[in-house]
Each structure stands twice: as structure tokens, then as C-alpha cells.
Amino acid sequence: MTILNASNRNPEIQAADIIGWIVWAAGFIIEAVADQQKLNFKKIASNKARWCDAGLWRWSRHPNYFGEVRLFLCLLTFEQHTFFGMC
């Protein structure tokens, strides 16, 4: 995405690109782990009516949404040098 949207024909990978990839990977992992932890929690019959409080869910009410927000924040870091180059 960075290469396709860059303003010049031979864009170089910048620090913001690497940071964006790290943020994206962290968000993806957090979201996937949170979803799996909730699924495993709900599989136990005694937990059907309970709020998930295991793993990441112990620290945050919606860790999967936190991961999702990080996925979208990475788009900002990917594209900031292209956007500011246009101004």
C-alpha cells in the first residue's frame, strides 16, 4: 500500500512505514488473541452467562476493539509522508 500510494515512482521505505507495520501486527495479534480467549471462555458451560474476565479481558473490557483501532491507526502512519508531501 505504501509503495502504491507514494508520490514518487521509487519510494523508499521510511521509519513511519516500519512503525506502521509494527502497529498493524500488534493490533492484529491483540485482536486475534482477545477473540480466541473469549471463544475459549464461552465454550465452558458454566461461563455462558458470565462476563469474560480471562487473559486480555481481565485488563480491558474490549481488547478486541483496542486491537481493531490499532489496525486502523497504522494506516495513518503508512500514509502520513504521502499526505504531508501533497500539502
Supply the range of the domain harboring residue 81: 16-86
| Residue 76 located in a structural domain | yes
| Residue 22 located in a structural domain | yes
Encode pLDDT of 1-33 as tens digits.
555 555 555 567 777 778 888 888 999 999 999
| Residue 9 located in a structural domain | no
Encode pLDDT of 60-79 as tens digits.
888 988 888 888 888 777 77
| Residue 11 located in a structural domain | no
pTM exceeding 0.85? no
| Residue 68 located in a structural domain | yes
Distances (CA, A) of 9 to 3, 4, 13, 53, 75: 8, 9, 13, 50, 20
Query: Would you say 66 and 30 are in contact if contact means Cβ atoms under 8 Å apart?
Result: yes
Query: Would you say 78 and 20 are in contact if contact means Cβ atoms under 8 Å apart?
Result: yes
| Residue 24 located in a structural domain | yes
Helices then strands, counting H and E runs in the chain, come out as 3, 0
Our measurement of the distance from residue 84's CA atom to the centroid of its chain's CA atoms, rounded to an integer in Å, reads 23
